[in-house]
Structure 1
Amino acid sequence: MSPRSPSVNEELRRRSRERLLQATVELVEERGFDGTTLADIADRAGAARGLVSYYFPGKRPMFQSAVHRLMHRTLQAALEREPRTDDGRELLARAIDAVLGLTVDHPVVMRAHMAGILQAEGFVQCPEQQRLAELLRETMVRYGSADVDNDYPLLRALMMGAVFAILLPGAAMPLASLRDELFHRFGLDPAYAAPPGGEPARRSLR
């Protein structure tokens, strides 16, 4: 039997890593971060326990990579959904709704993620985080930002703050109000995109 080519081995490694990241999101959604072990993740992914350590230095970095993967895939799907558009303002509106919508669809995961990035290690610099950053930065370019180096970090910080405010136990703010503030900040028509949670879109700026 001929040995596998480097390209085949690389594809197998990519698929194994993808399965681990998907299993991580599923299990944290079901059991919470503290209730999920690396062994659980390996079992769900159908992978050897040692493979987890091969790809990731620990559970927290692995979880951050898994959430950043979820975020960039959700964001990319929103930006590319039909009907396609080249309108930079609509694309930014889609991006905001996609990120805020994750708080509706994955509240347990997003709360654990926000808690993790506020710890000392902060963001994990991984391919998934870099892809998310590329998509958000490119969205700001298409929006027409004249100062992307400042506007992209501002967009990221404002969206993170909104997600945190939505998920804050006991003092959560309404998603619709935070969406309105973000749209107002960037001069976006609230009728753009699709508000998370099925709320009706309003038709004019405040």
Structure 2
Amino acid sequence: MSPRSPAVNEELRRRSIERLLLATVELVDERGYEATTLADIADRAGTARGLVSYYFPGKRQLLQSAVHRLMHLELAACLEHEPRTREGHALLARAIDAILGLARDRPRLMRTHMAGILTAEGFIQCPEQQRLAALLRDTMAHYGSADPEADYRLLRALLMGAVVAILLPGAPMPAERLRAELFQRYALAWELGFPPGERPPAPGI
């Protein structure tokens, strides 16, 4: 049997990593972070336990990469949603709705992700995060930003703050209200993106 080519090996590596990332978001969403072990993740992914440590230095880094991949895929799907558009305001509205939607629909997973970012290990700029960043940066360029890099970083900070506010235990803010504030800041019409209702929430809601 001839040895596998580098291209085949790279494809197998990519598939293994993707299975691990998918298994991580599934299990943490189902069981929580502490109740999910690396052995559980390897078993769900159908890979050897040693591969987890080979590809990722620890569970926290694995989770960040897994959630960033989920965010990247969700954002990409929303940006390409029919009817397709390249209009900047429409794309930015979709981007905001994509991230706030994950906080609304996957609260356990996103709360765990945000808690991990606020630990001593902090924000990890993994390849999955860089793909997410590239989409947001490109969105700001379409929006008309003169400095997409700086404006992407501000958008990221605003979105992270909104996600924390949605998920804050004991004192959550309505996602609709936070969406309205972000849309007002960027002069986006309420009906753009994926509006949660027929009209914006009243002030103070």
Q: TM-score range by the shorter chain?
A: over 0.9
Q: Which position in structure 1 is the counterpart of 2:147?
A: 147
In the alignment, the residues of structure 1 paired with residue 65 and residue 147 of structure 2 have an alpha-carbon distance, to the nearest angstrom, of 28
Contact 2:104 2:166 in 1 (8 A): no
Q: Which position in structure 1 is the counterpart of 2:197?
A: 200
Matched, 1:16 2:16: yes
Report the 3-state secondary structure (helix = DSSP H, G, I; strand = E; otherwise coil) of the residue aligned with 2:125: coil
In the alignment, the residues of structure 1 paired with residue 26 and residue 76 of structure 2 have an alpha-carbon distance, to the nearest angstrom, of 20
Using the TM superposition, give the Cα deviation of residue 201 of structure 1 relative to its aligned residue in structure 2, in angstroms. 4.1
Report the 3-state secondary structure (helix = DSSP H, G, I; strand = E; otherwise coil) of the residue aligned with 2:101: helix
Q: Which position in structure 2 is the counterpart of 1:44?
A: 44
Contact 1:20 1:42 in 2 (8 A): yes
Contact 1:194 1:201 in 2 (8 A): no
Contact 2:104 2:175 in 1 (8 A): no
Identity of aligned residues (%): 71
Task: State the number of aligned residues.
Answer: 201
In the alignment, the residues of structure 2 paired with residue 131 and residue 57 of structure 1 have an alpha-carbon distance, to the nearest angstrom, of 20
Q: Which amino acid aligns with 1:178?
A: L
In the alignment, the residues of structure 1 paired with residue 86 and residue 76 of structure 2 have an alpha-carbon distance, to the nearest angstrom, of 14
Q: Which position in structure 2 is the counterpart of 1:166?
A: 166
Report the 3-state secondary structure (helix = DSSP H, G, I; strand = E; otherwise coil) of the residue aligned with 2:99: helix
Q: For structure 1, which runs of at least 5 residues remain unmatched after alignment?
A: none
Q: Which position in structure 2 is the counterpart of 1:105?
A: 105
Contact 2:100 2:175 in 1 (8 A): yes
Report the 3-state secondary structure (helix = DSSP H, G, I; strand = E; otherwise coil) of the residue aligned with 1:4: coil
Contact 2:79 2:91 in 1 (8 A): yes
Contact 1:28 1:36 in 2 (8 A): yes
Moved over 4 A (4+): none
Contact 1:24 1:63 in 2 (8 A): yes
Contact 1:76 1:135 in 2 (8 A): yes
Report the 3-state secondary structure (helix = DSSP H, G, I; strand = E; otherwise coil) of the residue aligned with 1:10: helix
Matched, 1:71 2:68: no
- TM-score, with normalisation over the residues of structure 2? 0.95
Note the aligned Cα RMSD (angstroms).
1.2
In the alignment, the residues of structure 2 paired with residue 96 and residue 122 of structure 1 have an alpha-carbon distance, to the nearest angstrom, of 23
Contact 1:29 1:109 in 2 (8 A): yes
Q: For structure 2, which runs of at least 5 residues remain unmatched after alignment?
A: none
Report the 3-state secondary structure (helix = DSSP H, G, I; strand = E; otherwise coil) of the residue aligned with 2:77: helix
Report the 3-state secondary structure (helix = DSSP H, G, I; strand = E; otherwise coil) of the residue aligned with 2:129: helix
Using the TM superposition, give the Cα deviation of residue 143 of structure 1 relative to its aligned residue in structure 2, in angstroms. 0.4
